[in-house]
Structure 1
Amino acid sequence: MASCLHPVWLRRRHVTRDLPTTSANVLQLQVITGPSRGDDFYLPRVPIITQAASGTGFRMRRLQFPIRVAFVMTINKCQGQTKSYVGVYLPTPVFTHGQLYVSLSRVGYADAVEVLAPRGITRNVVYPEEL
């Protein structure tokens, strides 16, 4: 049994770390943030049913894990890059002028950004004397 320790983004908005799979149909995961930090849970494959264009009557059903592999980098490292989707984890407010702007502006539209911050808020540090 292989061990994969990759951060994954559970599509239900929980950050987890992938531990060795228990079978081909179940993943053993560990929560790495929030009040359940350190707890293990098992995630089965979920049936995904899609409808084709109207009039064809074609339906597709498949089993898959509702997760995405997450790649982690610092705000400074992502400066100047363009991404299709960004998840920003801010356990504490940013501490330098412009960091929040840099982290939130890596994508072209607001629907492609997800922010995880305590109590759902953070501070944008701006020093007016530097403007």
Structure 2
Amino acid sequence: MKNIGLGLSMLRPVRFLIVVFTCALLIFSYAFPAAAIGTQRSNPEKGEAQLLETQKKTDEVTAKPPLGLKETTERANEGLNEVQGAADINKMNRPENSQQATSAEEQVENFLEKITGKK
């Protein structure tokens, strides 16, 4: 019986370390997603000015009765959709203007090459 008691008493520090490690893991798992956002902050005033024109057109469209198929098709062909038109079309990512972009797969490959030193 003394051997069993001696063995269990030796596991108390290990049990304590496991609890501490688990608590630290929980704390960091909650903290790091927030830290992953980074320190880059957007300027809300900059985005608000761009949306005012789109909001104005949206208000005009909702005040009128629903558009028919012909009017909807005509407005949609002018740009992105019948409300937004061609507003900010050059700022949006499309295959035509994203030729220099790196895909997620390429980013991971580059990261792994840097870590392993194969590049």
Higher helix share: 2
TM-score, normalization by structure 2: 0.20
TM-score, normalization by structure 1: 0.18
* Higher radius of gyration, 1 or 2: 2
Higher strand share: 1
Q: Which has the higher contact order (CA 8 A, sep 6+)?
A: 1
